[in-house]
């Protein structure tokens, strides 16, 4: 059950197109806007959105690193000090991905829902998503590419703010037994990363409060963005 929850958490929220667990090329694409929080005061002009998360199916190619069946990209606006043009300052952040524990289950309050964390760094206004350690070819102690080890992913794509499912989840989807086009529900949030040594891509929080690893701080970061559409004025 734990592996299934992990797999669905990644599939539902990273692979927004819904075909990410497939190893064949598909037409599924998706894009969701990012709204900066906290919300502006009622007297502030309605701000622009602060970016977007998009995804698409990407087939694996023989002889190249696996893709996991899909890729995703973040477009994060730069903070320019204008509340009507919100953005993100340089720093360490976390993409907080929440999913139901089953394809038709509730996200909020369900004891078998899960949150999966992906870390990223913004430097000089450019974002870099960080690989899962077990498939990162630049990890200090490589855990991929050797005998009886999984293949390595592409290294972090510095300044591009994009990654394949395999880069951030490794074989989690395949080991969970997920299939292409499985239905799901999910949402995402962006948080600050309070301590990059205690919050890594692949950290997991089950809705019953279980953290993996137990000392992960990914959930404790300040909420600074959500996926969705900003509300308009109602007056």
Per-residue pLDDT of 91-109, as tens digits, reads 999 998 887 766 666 777 7
Q: 193 and 161 in contact (C-beta within 8 Å)?
A: no
Distance of CA 114 to the CA centre of its chain: 13
Model pLDDT for residues 133-174, shown as the tens digit of each residue: 999 999 888 789 988 899 999 999 899 899 988 899 887 766
Domain membership of residue 234 (yes or no) is no
Domain membership of residue 217 (yes or no) is yes
What is the domain count for the chain?
Answer: 1
Domain membership of residue 29 (yes or no) is yes
Q: 50 and 225 in contact (C-beta within 8 Å)?
A: yes
Domain membership of residue 235 (yes or no) is no
Q: 11 and 20 in contact (C-beta within 8 Å)?
A: yes
Domain membership of residue 166 (yes or no) is yes
Task: Give the model's confidence band at 3: pLDDT under 50 very low, under 70 low, under 90 confident, else very high.
Answer: very low
Contacts of 112 (CB under 8 A, 6+ apart): 1, 5, 100, 101, 102, 105, 206, 207, 208
Domain around 61: 2-227
Q: 207 and 110 in contact (C-beta within 8 Å)?
A: yes
Domain membership of residue 214 (yes or no) is yes
Model pLDDT for residues 116-138, shown as the tens digit of each residue: 899 999 999 999 999 999 999 99
Give the angle 155-163-81 at the CA atoms, nearest 5°. Answer: 105
Model pLDDT for residues 207-227, shown as the tens digit of each residue: 778 888 999 999 999 999 988
Domain membership of residue 233 (yes or no) is no
Rounded Cα gap, residues 8 and 4, in angstroms: 6
Domain membership of residue 232 (yes or no) is no
């Amino acid at each position: 059950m734990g592996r299934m929850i992990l797999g669905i958490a990644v599939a539902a929220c990273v692979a927004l197109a819904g075909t990410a667990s497939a190893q064949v090329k598909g037409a599924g694409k998706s894009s969701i806007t990012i709204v900066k929080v906290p919300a502006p005061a009622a007297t502030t002009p309605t701000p622009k959105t602060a970016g977007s998360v998009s995804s698409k199916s990407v087939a694996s190619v023989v002889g190249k690193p696996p893709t996991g069946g899909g890729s995703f990209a973040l477009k994060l606006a730069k903070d320019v000090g204008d509340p009507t043009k919100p953005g993100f300052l340089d720093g360490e952040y976390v993409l907080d991905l929440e999913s139901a524990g089953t394809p038709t289950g509730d996200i909020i309050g369900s004891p078998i829902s899960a949150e999966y964390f992906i870390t990223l760094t913004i430097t000089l206004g450019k974002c870099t998503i960080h690989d899962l350690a077990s498939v990162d070819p630049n990890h200090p102690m490589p855990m991929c590419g050797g005998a009886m080890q999984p293949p390595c992913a592409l290294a972090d794509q510095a300044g591009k703010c994009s990654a394949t499912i395999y880069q951030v989840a490794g074989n989690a989807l395949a080991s969970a037994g997920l299939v292409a086009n499985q239905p799901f529900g999910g949402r995402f949030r962006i948080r600050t990363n309070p301590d990059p040594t205690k919050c890594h891509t692949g950290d997991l929080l089950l809705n019953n409060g279980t953290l993996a690893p137990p000392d992960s701080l990914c959930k404790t970061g300040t909420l600074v963005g959500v996926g969705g559409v900003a509300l308009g004025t109602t007056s």
